[in-house]
């Protein structure tokens, strides 16, 4: 046979596969064996998990299959979802960064009990989100599957101390373990306590010493606010005001084999607690104590970053900063375009941020506005997200927590 290019084709000696000669457009996934089909489905976005049961009985069985969960656990990473926190705390709404859409999940039944109905999310890692109820007890939940469990109560003696930070570290392997870290005490006397899911218990509390080369002087009246007159003529407190869901906001990183928890002190400085070395230090202040600003700490690609919204020269500026350990100074790495940030000037905006990979999800809220912005650090791209509407009503959120949507994540 001669084709259009003029050369003569020869009979192929390649061994034919079983399905060759069939119309590939009519090829059905039903012809795949169970293991191969589960592998194929495991690569689909997690949002399709909710639609598996409506396809056919065979696919519905995969949703609860242990072998399917094992196949999902072998996927290196998932695009993040952002678990949104609203004032009512009675629903589970997420922003799916893959589909760029809002989704409403089934609220875990355990969180609807009377003793847990006021539980607020306080930390997240891997495919899990941790909640804390009014009694100071903790619950860990997989928002995708709705599975949830209560952790053993914390030692009452530990609950009497001022709680500064709650950090979570979950391992991505199938049926992997996770740990919850609580940092408490009064500066400069800090300690931390760890819950280990592998042993299902709280470990002994460990005191943190001040790092030898940290010469920061801690004020014993750190909890007392310092007030000053702002440019607008209003009285402002220098103490950082946190929304309830971000009161214990912190991030945890692993660098050179050392686990470090970062959190904001009541005066707005960053405190680093090295869990491996059992010491802590305080970072230099980003802005003068009498500056008007809102600040939050995030983790991106295993690195601690700080997001600051400040006002000067009759405008607002939102910037991302990284600390240079060599020069002991802060360096700006990204900034919101001025026309975009200027909208927040004079509106007493509070920012609550969370990092995920190269992205930072920012909730901006005040009495006058509620906005959500997604920042891509690599491209320095800032995108304001559409409002979330459920049943025709616009919802407003105070903050968000980032997690990987994994159906195999075990509580």
Lowest mean pLDDT among 93-107, 110-124, 136-150, 263-277: 110-124
pLDDT at 177: 87
- Greater confidence (48 vs 344) lies with 344
Q: CA angle, 133 as apex, 132 and 135 as ends, to 5°?
A: 120
Q: Residue 304 pairs with which residues in a beta bridge?
A: 299
* Beta sheet of 81-85, edge-to-edge order: 101-105, 92-96, 81-85, 399-403
Q: Residue 280 pairs with which residues in a beta bridge?
A: 210, 273
3-state secondary structure the chain: CECCCCCECCCCCCCCCCCCCCCHHHCCHHHCCHHHHHHHHHCCCHHHHHHHCCCCHHHHHHHCCHHHHHHHHCCCCCCCEEEEECCCCCCEEEEECCCCEEEEECCCHHHHCCCCCCCEEEEEECCEEEEECCCCCEEEECCCCCCEEECCCCCHHHHCCCEEEEEEEECCCCCCCEEEEEEEEECCEEEEEEEECCCCEECCCEEEEECCCCCCCCCCCCCCCCEEECCCCCEEECCCCCCHHHCCCEEEEEECCEEEEEEECCCCCEEEEECCCCEEEECCCCCCCCCCEEEEEEEECCEEEEEEEEEECCEEEEEEEEEECCCCEEEEEEECCHHHHHHHCCCCCEEEEEEECCEEEEEEECCCCEEEEEEECCCCEEEECCCEEECCEEECCCEEEEECCCCCCCC
pLDDT at 67: 82
Percent of the chain with pLDDT over 90: 39
What band does 15 get if pLDDT is binned at 50, 70 and 90?
very low
Cα dist from 356 to 43, 47, 94, 111, 181, whole Å: 20, 18, 14, 25, 20
What band does 231 get if pLDDT is binned at 50, 70 and 90?
very low
What band does 290 get if pLDDT is binned at 50, 70 and 90?
low
Q: CA angle, 131 as apex, 125 and 132 as ends, to 5°?
A: 135
pLDDT at 31: 52
Residue of 273, 341, 256, 339 lying closest to 307 (CA atoms)? 341
Q: 257 — alpha (psi -120 to 50), left (phi > 0) or beta?
A: left
Lowest mean pLDDT among 98-102, 184-188, 225-229: 225-229
Query: What is the torsional sign of CA 322, 363, 121, 292?
Result: positive
Residue of 357, 242, 218 lying closest to 301 (CA atoms)? 357
Cα dist from 242 to 318, 325, 401, whole Å: 17, 27, 15
pLDDT at 273: 96
pLDDT at 159: 61
What band does 226 get if pLDDT is binned at 50, 70 and 90?
very low
Q: What is the pLDDT of residues 136-155, one digit of tens each?
A: 899 999 998 888 999 999 98
Asked if the model's pLDDT at residue 349 lies above 50, the reply is yes
pLDDT at 35: 73
Give the residue-averaged pLDDT of 349-372. 91
CA dihedral 154, 158, 163, 168 (to 10 degrees): -40
The full set of domain ranges for the chain reads 34-72, 154-215+223-283
Q: What is the pLDDT of residues 57-88, one digit of tens each?
A: 777 777 777 887 888 788 888 889 999 988 77
pLDDT at 8: 41
Q: What is the pLDDT of residues 21-70, one digit of tens each?
A: 444 445 455 555 677 777 777 777 777 776 766 767 777 777 777 887 88
Query: What is the torsional sign of CA 74, 84, 183, 267?
Result: positive
Query: What is the torsional sign of CA 197, 198, 202, 206?
Result: negative
What band does 174 get if pLDDT is binned at 50, 70 and 90?
low
Q: 19 — alpha (psi -120 to 50), left (phi > 0) or beta?
A: alpha
Can you give the pTM of this predicted structure?
0.81
Distance CA 251, CA 88 (A): 25
Asked if the model's pLDDT at residue 325 lies above 80, the reply is yes
Distance CA 244, CA 119 (A): 11
Mean pLDDT of the chain: 81
pLDDT at 173: 57
């Amino acid at each position: 046979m001669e084709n259009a290019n003029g050369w003569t084709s020869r009979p192929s000696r390649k061994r034919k596969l079983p399905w060759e000669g069939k119309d590939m457009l009519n090829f059905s996934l039903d012809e795949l064996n169970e293991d191969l089909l589960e592998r194929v489905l495991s690569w689909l976005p997690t949002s399709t998990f909710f639609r598996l049961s409506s396809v056919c009985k065979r696919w519905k069985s995969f949703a609860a299959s242990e072998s399917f969960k094992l196949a999902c656990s072998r996927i290196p990473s998932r695009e993040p979802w952002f678990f949104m926190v609203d004032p009512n705390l009675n629903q589970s709404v997420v922003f799916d960064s893959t589909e760029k859409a809002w989704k409403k999940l089934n609220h875990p039944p355990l969180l609807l009990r009377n003793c847990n109905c006021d539980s607020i999310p306080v930390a997240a890692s891997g495919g899990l989100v941790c909640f804390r109820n009014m009694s100071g007890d903790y619950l860990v939940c997989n928002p995708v599957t709705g599975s949830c469990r209560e952790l053993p109560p914390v030692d009452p003696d530990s609950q009497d101390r001022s709680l500064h930070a709650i950090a979570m570290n979950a391992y991505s392997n199938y049926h992997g373990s996770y740990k919850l870290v609580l940092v408490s005490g009064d500066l400069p006397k800090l300690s931390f306590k760890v819950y280990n899911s592998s042993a299902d218990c709280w470990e002994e509390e460990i005191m943190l010493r001040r790092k030898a080369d940290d010469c920061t002087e801690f004020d014993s009246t750190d909890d007392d606010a310092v007030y000053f007159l702002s440019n607008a003529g209003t009285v402002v407190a220098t103490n950082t005001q946190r929304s309830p869901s971000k009161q214990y906001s912190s991030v945890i990183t692993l660098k050179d084999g050392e686990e470090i928890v970062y959190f904001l002190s009541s005066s707005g400085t960053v405190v680093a607690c090295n869990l491996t070395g059992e010491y802590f230090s305080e970072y230099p202040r980003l802005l003068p104590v009498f500056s008007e600003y809102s600040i939050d700490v995030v983790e991106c690609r295993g690195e601690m970053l700080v997001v600051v919204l400040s006002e000067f020269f009759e405008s607002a500026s939102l910037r991302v900063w990284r600390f240079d350990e060599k020069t002991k100074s802060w360096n700006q790495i990204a900034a919101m375009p001025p026309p975009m940030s200027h909208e927040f000037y004079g509106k007493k905006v509070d920012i609550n941020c969370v990092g995920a990979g190269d992205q930072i999800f920012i909730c901006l809220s005040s009495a006058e506005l509620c906005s959500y912005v997604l920042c891509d650090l690599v491209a320095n791209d800032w995108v304001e997200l559409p409002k979330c509407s459920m049943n025709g009503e616009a919802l407003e959120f105070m903050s968000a927590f980032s997690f990987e949507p994994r159906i195999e994540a075990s509580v």
